[in-house]
Amino acid sequence: MSLNYNVNLCISLLYLPPKYEGMPTNRTFTMIKPEAVENGHAGAILDRIIKNGFRIVALKKTRLSAELAGAFYEVHKERPFYGELVDYMSSGPIFAAILEKDNAVADFRALIGATDPSEAAEGTIRKDFAESKAKNAVHGSDSNENSDIEGNFFFSKFERF
């Protein structure tokens, strides 16, 4: 990633769309997963999110322990891929974020594309940045209810702007 791109991303983050009182919005949660962070795609992914009209309400870079990854993905505990998922999600740093926009959950799911990047539409985040179905670059909440649960897992009310 070039220095110029990093400067442009920083400027983009400084000039996020303002939230006006009474403006109808809703929120979704995302994580930029370990392989996307390791491969240097986090800046480009965040830039694409912003350029698609999402406002970043909360953002942090962190690393999940196996225990925290297990708790986050507890809904999948009985699924055969659970152990592999926990190992993968605790393998390196991630970016967690709460995003805001009208129709946030559906619009973000459209932006990220199908779980399997080979089935994702051209121009989606997963088509452009994912390695495989298992290493698919980003997580996106699948409902408003799960968005709230997942956002609350990572962020206190004092960390949201």
Residue pLDDT, tens place only, 71-121: 999 999 999 999 999 999 999 999 999 999 999 999 999 999 999 999 999
Assign residue 105 the CATH number of its domain: 3.30.70.141
Encode the chain in three state secondary structure: CCHHHHHHHHHHHHCCCCCCCCCCCEEEEEEECHHHHHCCCHHHHHHHHHHCCCEEEEEEEEECCHHHHHHHCHHHCCCCCHHHHHHHHCCCEEEEEEEEECCHHHHHHHHHCCCCCCCCCCCCHHHHHCCCCCCCCEEECCCHHHHHHHHHHHCCHHHCC
Give the count of domains, the chain. 1
Is 139 catalytic? The answer is yes
Of 45, 46, 139, 140, the active-site residue reads 139
Q: Which two tokens stand for residue 133?
A: 């179905």
pLDDT tens per residue, range 20-66: 444 445 999 999 999 999 999 999 999 999 999 999 999 999 999 99
pTM confidence score: 0.83
Q: Taking a C-beta distance cutoff of 8 angstroms, is the pair 147, 28 a contact?
A: yes
Q: Which domain holds residue 86?
A: 3-16+24-159
